[in-house]
Amino acid sequence: MDTLRGYQTVEIHTPEGVTFALPLAGPVVRFLAWITDLGCILALFSSAQALLMNLFSIIDADLGAAVGVFTYFAITLGYGIATEWWLRGQTLGKRLFRLRVLDLHGLRLRFSQVVIRNLLRAVDSLPLAYLVGGLACFGSRYRQRLGDIAANTIVVHQSEMALPDLAAITGGPFNSLRAFPHLTARLRQRVSPEEASIALTAVMRRNRLDPNARVALFAELASHFKAIVAFPVQTSEDIPDEQYMRNVVDVLFCKPAA
Amino acid sequence: MIIDLDKFITRERPYWERLESRLKKLEVDPEGRIPFEEVKQFHYLYRRTASGLAQIATYATDPQIRGYLENIVGRAYSEIYTIRDKTPRFHPLRWLWGTFPQTFRRHLALFLLSAAILLAGGVFGALAVALDSEAKPVLMPFSHLAGDPSERVAREERADGHERLEGHMAQFSSHLMTHNTKVAIFAMALGMSWGIGTVLLVFYNGAMLGAVILDYILAGESLFLTGWLLPHGAFEIPAILIGSQAGLVLASALIGRGQPISMRARLKAVRSDLVTLIGGGGLMLVWAGLIEAFFSQYHAPVLPYELKIGFGILELLLLALFLGLAGHSTVWWQRVTRRHPKKVV
């Protein structure tokens, strides 16, 4: 297990030899999704009760009341099962919070898994407000409540992500380092992939850094990269260290067109 | 080697976007049929994107691009590698007459263990009522059982005794069905406490039942008690026991004593059995609820006790025959066909 964008993750190894990580949803966001689902259940029950009870009460008041009891039971028990089955691992609350239930191996759910994880809410919800399930979630390696453990399921974040805009992170069209193609080629030759990846990560995360730490980090990085290949002084004398590093990243990751 | 990120993204982006748009289509319409050509293309896009992810992960640890690719590869992976459509179609009658009784028999030992726990609870409840007069109000589950049994019998045997439920029978019946089904589900779910919760629940229910039975026997109302309990109890008690049988199946998969496979594999192996047992128990409780509301509440002289007891015994016999024999022929047929496979010409 690892962390990705602040989430705990579970690693999946595909038969193609590719490894990817699924970010696990924590108990708090799952609780919020459950509150939303509770609202949906109540709304569904109120409308179904108003419709069905009134309809059957025309025939017989006792039958109308019986239908009311059944409707409540069917909706409370069947809501999670039906939505997670038809919406592929999502209830309306989970869809709102971009969560999805998956098999522990990253596969889609089987019907028995959906039923078991929903029936075991009976113990997870004990003594109230999913305390047992929440505690199990905190203590579990894959953030599973008891129903998830029994059904071999996990709840993951599935937010849509956008590709980063490379033009915004690299040096842009006016990269002074590109005036010295033999030096940029040498830089690409001497810099290890690890060093390059540190430079790229620093540039991509620069806006999330504390201002003082940002200045210090880019000063250190710039001095490190200047030591690897010494470019003429005019390439760096009028620009801050951060811009210098953006130019370096641009040179490393974006080769000029032939 | 450092990847040329700009060139790489420019070259691969159209494939990633096509995969994403196909994923969105699949997520919006999960049951929609896809032409074979599109399936092949989807597979190609998945493999190309997965390969892109492998390159990014190897040559550039950029978290944002990697996160983006992991997201779409993960979504496509679950679509490609799940063989959900090959799951056999659900046939309700085949399930009822074959799968359910077969599953019940496969875990018969745990059903018998549940019955033994219920019996032990019954003996405890009976002894508690016999030896301690203060035990009765603690053990009696419902207020109408807390009073003197003879007074209740006299009240309910009056000509208008059965009228107390007139106009409420359907509601009463549905309440019984849903309540008992919840108890059966709870008994199963408590299996996650390594079976301790299931055992305690069954024992407690047995204690209540034992206390009620002895109370009525001591009051000389055995005939009333049998005529009242047997018609619905013939299905209700076995159904609750099947719920606890499912709980013990779950617990034994968790504990896994003597099984050389992982807990996940053990749980996976019993998952369908749990659903089958709880589904079958739920169906039995629907029948028990109908009988309890519309039949058990009528006493002599409206319905003679002999008739009610006879009906209860008949139900028990039929249930025992069903659970003991139904689905056997299917197993026999499977054995025969396995031994003599059809010749392929």
- Please write the tens of the pLDDT for every residue from B216-252: 999 898 999 999 899 999 999 999 999 999 999 999 9
Q: Nearest-CA distance from A229 to chain B in Å?
A: 16
**Least Cα separation, residue B215 to chain A (angstroms):** 32
Distance of residue A69 Cα from the nearest chain B Cα, in angstroms = 6
What global pTM score does this model have? 0.79
Q: Does A135 touch chain B (CB under 8 A)?
A: no
Is the Cβ pair A20, B73 closer than 8 Å?
yes
Whether residue B7 and residue A255 make contact (CB cut-off 8 A), yes or no, is yes
B94 burial (CB, 10 Å; 0-12 / 13-18 / 19+) is: middle
Q: Among A77, A107, A201, whose Cβ lies nearest the Cβ of B62?
A: A201
Per-residue pLDDT at A173: 66
SS (H, E, C) B210-276: HHHHHHHHHCCCHHHHHHHHHHHHHHHHHHHHHHHHHHHHHHHHHHCCCCCCCHHHHHHHHHHHHHH
pLDDT digits over B46-59, tens only?
A: 989 988 888 877 76
pLDDT at B173: 82
Interchain contact, A112 vs B271, CB within 8 Å: yes
Tell me how far apart the alpha carbons of residues B1 and A257 are, in angstroms, rounded to a whole number. Answer: 18
The residue-averaged pLDDT of A195-209 equals: 82
The residues in A 226-245 lying below 8 A from B, measured between CB atoms, are none
Distant-in-sequence, close-in-space partners of A214: CB < 8 Å, separation ≥ 6: A206, A242
CB within 8 Å of chain B, chain A residues 56-85? 60-63, 65-67, 69-70, 72-73, 77
CB pair distance less than 8 Å for B47 and A4: no
Model pLDDT, residue B26: 81
Angle at B177 between CA B219 and CA B297, to 5 degrees: 35
Whether B197 sits inside 8 A of A60 (CB atoms) is no
- Whether the Cβ atoms of residue A202 and residue A218 lie closer than 8 Å to each other: yes
pLDDT at A166: 64
- Which one is predicted more confidently, A165 or A72? A72
- Residues of B within 8 A of A19 (CB-CB) are 57
Cβ of residue A153 closer than 8 Å to a chain B Cβ: no
pLDDT at A1: 47
Q: Which residues pair with A13 in a beta bridge?
A: A19
pLDDT tens digits, B164-198: 667 777 888 888 888 899 999 999 999 999 999 99
What pLDDT digit, counting tens, does each position of A232-245 carry?
Answer: 887 777 788 888 88
CB A253 within 8 A of CB A188: no
Q: Which of B198 and B1 is assigned the larger pLDDT? A: B198
Buried (b) or exposed (e) across A16-55, using 16+ Cβ within 10 A? eebebbbbbbbbebbbebbebbeebbeeebeebbeeebee
